Structure 1
Amino acid sequence: MSHPNRSRQDSGHDRDAAPPYPNASGIAAQVNAGELDPGAVVSAFQARIDARNGELNAVFEERRDLVEADVAQLRGRLAAGERPPLAGVPVIVKDVVWVRGRRVTQGSLLYRHFVAPEDAIAVERLRAAGAIVLGMGNTSEFACKGLTTNKVYGLTRHPQDTALTAGGSSGGCAVAVAAGMAPLALGTDGGGSSRRPPAHAGVVGFKPSFGAIPDAAGFPHAFPGIQVMAPITRTVDDAALMFRALCGPDPRDPDSMGFQCAAAEPLEGLRIAVSPRLGLDTPVDDDVAEAFEAAVARLRAAGLRIARQDPAWPEGAGEAALMPLQHVGLANLYGEAWRSDPDRFDPDIARQIERGLSWSGAEVARAREASRRIGLALAAFFTEHDLLLCPTTPCVAWPNDRLGPERIGGVAVEPRAHAVFTPFFNHAQAPAISVPCGTGRDGLPVGLQIAGPRGADWRVLAAARLVEQLLAAG
């Protein structure tokens, strides 16, 4: 499919391939060695934001006065002999995560004047690691929509083609990283929000196991128990570097206590399953299927033990069975505000709230049971397989004037059909990562998703690193 309104004034992706500095680990190494001033790093990425954000609409609340203060503090730490692992590395934080002293809106008019009183634990740890928060990444309202647009900041556009979307809800973060505005971004993922936008934008999005990154300070979640903080980066090595700085227990978050991430094993002996449609009766576009199969072929050629095997899902498994949980979560948090003034809400979010108010207790209980059974099915699958590979999305990016593509695989689909391959891993509380695996029509990025059992975060990252290396070598 071609798009007559395509905007490629600066050849999009080609320009984005060269950010001011290549990666986070290189920045930190040079800053720690005294070869690079953190202020120079920050200025270079701020110039990139100035150059690109006007057309992409991805980053807000820059507060350069706070950035300057953070740079000065880091200089003092370096002078005192500290060598933090993310020294001087700029990061964009999704506009649902608390960053002390900054406006954090959740993309909602209800919070357009809210200033976070403290840092989320993940942001606290980024600061301790020496990272510098440059600004907030745009999100869909309450992170509950597969298109990044809201009534506070408007629409975020794809970095290759401003007529397209990078999806949602972490679209601002994914676009910022893809466009070279920062090497790192901190997103959230409650159903694929930090895997699908990176897949569409051509970067890496990692959803850790639930509990791996503590999450206590901040807004209440519409879907507790499945949402996690999620690194978005240009490379897998940077995702691993960021995850290492973020993971580990904190007594403020009981879900993180006692949680252990297993060390990565050698990949050669692992049992890797490939499921081109994740065992679901769902269409996939030909260009996505071809890019995915080509990537799998490279892995087989490298000697990995790979077999075709679909998970066996419980009867009726699908997003339709799970969506009452999101709707009820939104209704619980914002139902009264919606009743008092529906016009303050994105119409799509308002419809979710209205539906949430209509679900019966029995229907919500059925959705919770569906979530549990999906998690059990995936856990059983991982007793026989160590990793699972599938496409991240069944389609490439689509026009940004609609919730989702109207057709996938030549079949008319519902607006959420683009999101089918990511939510089950949230309900299983399992780690999953999206890595670029080639391009589809019009040169748009395709993502490959790698998942493992809960706690196998380092195994998943190791596999993603190998995929990245093999595809780059090809």
Structure 2
Amino acid sequence: MTALHEGSARDCAARVHARELSAAEAARHFIERVQRLNPALNALVQFDPAAVLAEAQQVDQRLAAGAMLPMAGVPVTIKDNLWVEGRTITQGSRLFADFVAPRDAWAVARLRALGAVVLGISNCSEFACKGVTDNLVYGATRHPLDGSLTPGGSSGGAVAALAAGLGLLALGTDAGGSVRRPAAHCGLVGHKPTQGVIAHPWGFAEPNYGVSVVGLLARNVGDCAWLLDQLSGFDAGDASAAPLGVAWQAEAATRDEPPRELRIAWSPQLGCDFPIDDDVLAALVQRVRALRTAGWAVTEADPSWGEAVRDYPLNALQHAGLHALHGRQLQTRRHDIDPHLAAQMDAGAATTPAELARALRLREPIVAGLSRFFEQYDVLVCPTAPVTAWPLGQIGPAVIGERPAGPRGHAVFTPLFNLCGVPACSVPAGRVRGLPVGLQIVAPRFEDARVLQVAALIERLDR
């Protein structure tokens, strides 16, 4: 029989619900793995074995009382910027080292209501605003395949834990690729849902207001789609939440092949001349060829964004947002702030109202450009990240595609889709130099099921 940590979350829930396996037994299995493997990874930064077991025993009691719990006993990790009631949730920042969450985030409450068990809190970069996972509170998280490398960020703790079998699902956040890129670096599926599909009406104030979402991580596309089905929901307290019910049954869609007439576009550089390592590109091209060989028409085509997107348009908004929320701490507590974050706050303080207005207005032509593109194509396929994981201690690779790279050079392929609010999923696409790479699938807003259906097709072709 497949080991519990190697199986699917859906199978675990089915076994617990059928009483073939108790939630407590599942919890003990994962508690042992965390205790044995996490010290070397530093992926989970809050872990209470007694609380995990008690929560699992409550699930068993609810089942015995006749409750229907679709996610019964499934262990899930929660990123350290999403509230979990009664837990210390720091956002990776010393400024919040003593913060205890007063309630569960909406998605966490939903998970618990469905019978899932919170296994632990996963590490993230400070305020989830850096592409690697280290901070002054907990230190660095290490890549599960090579401890000398970073898993990326900001949801690096979530992916490192999941890839190491510490849990079966994970919640992260994604404001510019913070779920998708680490998923690609660690061989996982990472989905950024359509903006507002998973309600997030309370929690920490968000530096990247209007583009950040609760993101989903799983070991396979079917589990990721199933998690989306369970968590999709409306709450009037979330200004971005979709007021119409969504009944797409994404997990069911992943079992079927996409229609042969699907118009698929492959864009290796997103029309922006973004640099990408040659061997990473070769691995992704191989997956695109497999799609064509299997009978799907794939056209090489680029969205028309305009020149401004090459300068990472989220920067000004993120920097200003950070300064607005935390800049007052710079004078008295700069030593308690990650130097990279302090520099971002300084940049935010220097941003003029005119510059902010231009950044906000830039969103309109970017959204319009992608909308025009989706009039011609149903799905866009592109790289998730242009590189494999890089050494710990580096903010990013110094060179990408034989060209000098800035600190965000590794992150250029993901943030535009946050600005547009569209669904985007990273699916594993083989390995380069022994390290995973990911292919990103994108579609128009509310076409999450189609995105995951194509991701599942690529997953099957990769076997």
Q: Give the structure-2-normalised TM-score.
A: 0.96
Secondary structure of 2:159's counterpart equals helix
Pick closer, same or farther for the CA change 1:257–1:310 going to 2, 3 Å.
closer
Is 1:50 the counterpart of 2:35? The answer is yes
- C-alpha separation in 1, matches of 2:377 and 2:244: 22
Alpha carbons of structure 1 residues 363 and 158: separation in structure 2 relative to 1, 3 Å: same
CA distance in 1, matches of 2:187, 2:261: 29
Supply the distance in 1 between the matched residues of 2:289 and 2:223 (Cα, whole angstroms).
Answer: 25
Distance in 1 (CA, whole Å) between partners of 2:453 and 2:392 is 34
- Among 414, 419, 444, the alignment partner of 2:435 is 444
Q: Distance in 1 between matches of 2:332 and 2:393?
A: 28
Q: Which residue of structure 1 aligns with residue 343 of structure 2?
A: 351
Matched residue count: 455
Query: Matches of 1:376 and 1:261 in 2, distance apart?
Result: 24
- Match among 358, 361, 364 for residue 369 of structure 1: 361
102, 105, 109: which one aligns with 2:94 = 109
Equivalent pair of 1:200/1:445 in contact (CA under 8 Å): yes
Are the equivalent residues in 2 in contact too, given 1:192–1:423 (CA < 8 A)? Answer: yes
> Contact 1:143 / 1:169 at 8 angstroms: preserved in 2?
yes
Amino acid at match of 2:141: T
Query: For 1:306-342, what per-residue CA distance to the aligned partner results, in whole angstroms no more than 9, with x for missing partners?
Result: 1110111123213433310000000000010122221
Question: Tell me, what secondary structure is at the counterpart of 1:255?
Answer: coil
Q: 1:260: Cα distance to partner? A: 5.1
In structure 1, the residue matched to 2:213 is 228
Question: Which residue is equivalent to 1:466?
Answer: 457
Question: Which of 140, 144, 169 does residue 184 from structure 1 map onto?
Answer: 169
Q: Work out whether residues 319 and 423 of structure 1, in 8 Å CA contact, stay in contact via their aligned partners in 2.
A: no
TM-superposed deviation, 1:149: 0.3
8 Å Cα contact 1:139-1:170 kept in structure 2: yes
Taking the TM superposition and a 5 Å limit, the aligned residue runs for 1:305-324 are 305-324=297-316
- What secondary structure, in the 3-state scheme, does the structure 2 residue paired with 1:75 have? helix
1:272 matched residue in structure 2: 264
Percent of aligned pairs with the same residue?
48
How far apart, in 1, do the equivalents of 2:242 and 2:174 lie? 20
Residue 3 of structure 1 corresponds to none
State the 1:20 CA deviation: 2.9
Give the distance between the partners of 2:157 and 2:313, measured in 1 at CA. Answer: 28
The offset of 1:21, in angstroms, is 4.4
Which residue does 2:392 correspond to in 1? 400
Q: In 2, distance between residues paired with 1:259 and 1:116? A: 30
1:131-181 per-residue CA deviation (whole Å, 9 max, x = no partner) reads: 100110100000000010000000001111111111100000011111111
Distance 1:387 1:345 in 2: 41
Alignment correspondent of 2:278: 286
Question: 1:24, 1:319 → 2: CA distance?
Answer: 39
Residues 260 and 307 of structure 1, relative CA distance in 2, 3 Å threshold: farther
CA distance in 1, matches of 2:323, 2:244: 31
Structure 2 residue matching 1:382: 3-state secondary structure = helix
1:195 aligns to 2:184 (yes or no): no
Q: Give the gaps of 5 or more residues in structure 1.
A: 1-16
Give the partner amino acid of 2:57: A
- Contact 1:260–1:455, Cα closer than 8 Å, also in 2: no
| Alignment match, 1:387 | 379
Query: 1:412 offset after TM fit, Å?
Result: 1.4
CA shift in 2, pair 1:18/1:291, >3 Å: farther
Q: Deviations over 1:171-229 (max 9, x none)?
A: 00011111111110000000000000010011110000001000011001001111000
Q: What runs of 5+ residues in structure 2 fail to find an aligned partner? A: none
Tell me the equivalent position of 1:12: none
